[in-house]
Amino acid sequence: MAEAAVAARLMRAAALMESDPVAAARDAAQILSEHPGDPQAALLLGTAQRRAGDLPAAERVFAQLAAAQPDNAAIQFELGRVLAALGRDAEARAPLQRAVERAPGLAGAWGELAALCFRAGDIPAGDRAYARFAHLSPPDAHLGEAVVALATDRLTVAETLLRRQLARQPQDVAALRLLGGIAAEREDYVEAERLLGEALRLAPGYGGARFALARILYAQQKPHPMLPLLERLLALEPRNVQYRALQARAYDLLGQNERALTILSSLLEEFPDNELAWVDYGHSLRTAGKLEEAISAYRRAARQRPACGQAWFSLANLKTFRFEPAEVATMRAQLADAALPDAERLQFEFALGKALEDERDYAGAFGHYARGNALRRAAVPYDRSRTTRLVDRSIALFTRDFLAARADFGARAPDPIFIVGLPRAGSTLIEQILASHSQVEGTRELPDVPGFALELGERDLPGQAPSYPQVLARFSREQLTALGERYLAQTRPHRLLGRPHFIDKMPNNFLHLGLIHLMLPNARIIDARRGALACGFANFKQHFQAGLWFSYDLADIGAYYRDYVRLMSHFDTILPGRVHRVQYERLVADLEGEVRRLLDYCGLPFEERCLRFNETERVVQTASSAQVRQPLYTDSLEQWRHFEPWLGPLKEALGELAAPAAAGAA
């Protein structure tokens, strides 16, 4: 009976722990004075003292308990927590280690041990401890409703729930990670990186946040910072399929295609039934120009999981591939499934659009393209006026006098050749022609210049006007030179062949011509231009995985094209001859003449193999990778006309620019 009474008193004291730890400690001390040596009363006393902030008293209690009961995991855990709170990390590690050895399921002890290891700089041990903590106590277990909303593509609902949670608990790392994922889905990568960076600052061992950050960097084509993140993840889970596949993609971005293929081949030997690994293998094979092998890999993925939209879209995205009737039937069946997630559905829509276009069912094809774009547009907020305002600010700043006053600014190296314009305007073809020259190396769409613009304040933020490009007016000669040198240093790892010149083929760098000219005055700039309707529709029917927000709506595309032409015309006026324009229609009509003019502009001697660009073996990572390995063809010039009945919004937005481009267009 006495034991029951003591137990009841202990329960009442424990109930005070959260609301009034001082009172809990007082009650526990009273019980202990009446029942000296009671281990439960002593444990409660020490815990209450720790909660109340009386750490020295708590240490004395737990030290005595630990000496008497060295195998009690709870006591060792509490002793370790108190020592850590007292700043005695070196002493705290031993009791925490004993706690997890004696009770491997004690999540809190693993969490404390992880924090201790990170403070000591023992990153591998910290990662291992945090991984055990996360396994025993999943960080997002309390966010079930938000997780379900995300899984069902209800991004706005999920975001609302997560922001409420962060208002209550700003240091909730799982909420930060999930909110970062929503920002990434909307292609707001700056915000996504900020949220995930904060999650990792609070929980350095949080592998879920680290992997999410690596994926976001991949979406922005930033392979260098990806690799250390993935190496740290793989140190814990060396057989993880997702980590290894993403590592292979990073190496592909770096131009190390053979290394990527080696990783993926090894992965498929271990996991031959993983359809996404087959998709990644197909991507790497396509990049290397091994198209038949890539097709086999994609088809293998589609057979293993017919609902894998990535596999079907990857086949369509080869451009030169034609679906068989049975494959079209399979895709139709998958689209008919109401449970198909939107992320998969939109890939099927674009793939079926391509299949029906090849069958000359243009009405059906356009319907699929339109539905695919609508799904993507719904997930990504895009305000076309932001581009217009950026162009307005650029035209206002970059005047003839402004640039003349800074004529001797910037890094003088002539190495870079920028190819700018809209996607699907022939930029990959121009790159392949130039990369066939002995003095030029093709790289890929490098993210460095847009990254500089973001650093300088390009983004529209709530209540804050963008400072870019006007901020450049305050830059000194030394600052702009340093920026140019930084660009050259950041891009150097992509120059694997050591040639004098290299190509940066990021299309939307046209928005940053003023910045490029100021920091790299001797760089060459090539405007890859294609007729507005042909280019506009080519963008509409191409599902871009990330970044090109304007391409999901015909009116947005038209407005974007108008802003592009307006800005390029401004630079033609203030810097005549600075930018060399290659009109796609004219290039197709007079390949040799256009190539000679292009090489003259770049200061390069004519080389015959530039005309045989399709024979050049190199890594090509864009959607045109299969097309540029074929001789020049004219089929695509008028392809848009088949869809003209549905291009009204594009024509209206383009206005006078909707006139078809001729082969002799300027």
Predicted confidence (pLDDT) per residue in 101-132, tens digit? 888 888 888 888 888 888 888 888 888 888 88
Residue 631 confidence (pLDDT) above 60 = no
- pLDDT at position 619 is 54
- Higher pLDDT, residue 403 or 461: 403
- pLDDT at position 64 is 82
Which CATH code fits 385-455+468-612?
3.40.50.300
Q: How far apart are alpha carbons 638 and 584 in whole angstroms?
A: 12
- pLDDT at position 634 is 64
Domain parsing of the chain, residue ranges: 306-379, 385-455+468-612
- pLDDT at position 648 is 96
Q: Please choose, from the candidates 31, 34, 72, the residue with its C-alpha nearest in 3D space to the C-alpha of residue 48.
A: 31
Residue 37 burial (C-beta neighbours within 10 Å; 0-12, 13-18, 19+): exposed
- pLDDT at position 120 is 84
- Whether the CB-CB separation of 494 and 488 falls below 8 Å is answered with no
Lowest mean pLDDT among 360-369, 595-604, 607-616: 607-616
Mean pLDDT, to the nearest integer, of 603-607?
Answer: 96
Residue 441 confidence (pLDDT) above 90 = yes
- Higher pLDDT, residue 298 or 253: 298
- pLDDT at position 625 is 45
Q: How far apart are alpha carbons 441 and 258 in whole angstroms?
A: 18
Q: Please choose, from the candidates 431, 596, 562, the residue with its C-alpha nearest in 3D space to the C-alpha of residue 501.
A: 431
Q: Where do the DSSP E strands lie in 309-463? A: 416-421, 440-444
**Cross-sheet strand order for the sheet of 440-444:** 440-444, 501-504, 416-421, 524-529, 579-583
Residue 207 confidence (pLDDT) above 60 = yes
Lowest mean pLDDT among 48-57, 248-257, 443-452: 48-57
Residue 421 confidence (pLDDT) above 80 = yes
- Whether the CB-CB separation of 315 and 283 falls below 8 Å is answered with no
Mean pLDDT, to the nearest integer, of 442-455?
Answer: 89
Mean pLDDT, to the nearest integer, of 612-635?
Answer: 59
Q: Which two tokens stand for residue 494?
A: 């992509």
Mean pLDDT computed over every residue of the chain? 88
Highest-scoring range by mean pLDDT, 23-27, 299-303, 317-321: 299-303
Tell me how many degrees the CA angle 311-315-317 measures, rounded to the nearest 5. Answer: 110
- pLDDT at position 31 is 73
pTM of the model: 0.76
- pLDDT at position 624 is 47
pLDDT tens digits, one per residue of 348-392: 999 999 999 999 999 999 999 999 999 988 877 788 999 999 999
With cut-offs at 50, 70 and 90, classify the pLDDT of residue 573. very high
